[in-house]
Amino acid sequence: MRNLLAQRQIVTHPFVVAELALGSLRDRAATLADLDRLVGVRIAYLSELRALIESHSLYSRGIGFTDAHLVASCLITIGTQLWTRDKSLAAVATSLGIHAGLP
């Protein structure tokens, strides 16, 4: 992961950073500052998200709003793949060809 970070091959989504900010972080200020320096994906508009949910039948597949938003943003940010350990999210990402697995 260090190599990927050094090569600027890791991007983030503001919803992920916000979720992490709500938790307990070691060295909170530095960690959040580091996350804020990462390149971000394009943020999907709600209309794009709703279209994706319908066109790919993402309802009733065990993912929520934030997960669906991550998927949408990966799809509209060319070349972006999703890393996750969440089984439902991984299944959706795999079905859409954007699941990267984990390093």
Indicate if the pLDDT at residue 103 is higher than 70: no
Per DSSP (E only), the strands in the chain are 11-12, 39-40
What phi, psi does 45 have (nearest 5°)?
Answer: -70, 155
Q: What are the domain boundaries of the chain?
A: 2-95
pLDDT tens digits, residue range 17-67?
A: 999 999 999 999 999 999 999 999 999 999 999 999 999 999 999 999 999
pTM, two decimals, is 0.88
User: Could you tell me if 75 and 45 are in contact, meaning their C-beta atoms sit under 8 angstroms apart?
Assistant: no
